[in-house]
């Protein structure tokens, strides 16, 4: 405890906000990267599909956005109080940020893989590509739940 006190609650709170943005964005970067690699292959064969490939590629990008949303809420909550937050409050903020940090990271990668596989659908059965999109959105739901868990926790923290 003594050790944590020397660090201070403000630093912990910022750590939470940083994790929410950073991990979720890393996940989205990986997810969109996986989908992008698959998409580039298809676009090389058939450039006219680039619009649809782009749509599939950006789907795993939303986790980064959710991470940023939580970062923003957490940061605006603590930005004026960094020096006065105690360790307990700081840890509360870290806990609240964890769902979207971890969930965003992993769900974006999983979604990126589904998006890459859906690009396969787009290549082989272009008329059915929207079904692939729907499969991607199913993964999205868990990122939304993480966003909500983080949001509800953040909302209940009183500083």
In the complex with another protein, which residue's Cβ is closer, 9 or 111? 111
Q: How far is the CB of 54 from another protein (least distance, A)?
A: 12
Q: How far is the CB of 58 from another protein (least distance, A)?
A: 9
C-alpha separations of 20 from 72, 121, 156 in Å:
9, 33, 17
Alpha helices in the chain (DSSP H): 2-7, 9-45, 50-58, 62-78, 87-124, 129-156
Contact with another protein (CB under 8 A) among 10, 20, 32, 66:
66
- Residue 54 near another protein by CB under 8 A: no
The length of the chain, given as a count of residues: 159
- Residue 21 near another protein by CB under 8 A: no
- Residue 157 near another protein by CB under 8 A: no
In the complex with another protein, which residue's Cβ is closer, 55 or 82? 55
Q: How far is the CB of 3 from another protein (least distance, A)?
A: 34
C-alpha separations of 26 from 22, 36, 68, 103, 152 in Å:
6, 15, 12, 12, 23
Size of the site for another protein (CB under 8 A): 21
C-alpha separations of 88 from 9, 17, 31, 46, 95 in Å:
7, 15, 34, 56, 11
Q: How far is the CB of 156 from another protein (least distance, A)?
A: 10
- Residue 76 near another protein by CB under 8 A: yes
Contact with another protein (CB under 8 A) among 20, 73, 85, 105:
73
């Amino acid at each position: 405890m003594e050790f944590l006190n020397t660090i201070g609650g403000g630093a912990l709170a910022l750590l939470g906000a940083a994790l929410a943005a950073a991990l979720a964005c890393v996940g989205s970067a990986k997810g969109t990267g996986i989908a992008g690699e698959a998409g580039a292959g298809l676009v090389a064969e058939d450039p006219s599909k680039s619009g649809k490939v782009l749509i599939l590629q950006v789907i795993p990008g939303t986790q980064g956005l959710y991470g940023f949303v939580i970062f923003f809420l957490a940061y605006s909550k603590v930005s004026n109080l960094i020096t006065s937050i105690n360790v307990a409050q700081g840890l509360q903020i870290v806990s609240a940020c964890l769902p979207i940090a971890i969930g965003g990271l992993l769900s974006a990668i999983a979604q990126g893989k589904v998006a890459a596989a859906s690009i396969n659908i787009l290549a082989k059965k272009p008329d059915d590509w929207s079904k692939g999109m729907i499969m991607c959105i199913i993964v999205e739901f868990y990122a939304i739940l993480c966003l909500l868990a983080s949001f509800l926790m953040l909302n209940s923290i009183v500083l």
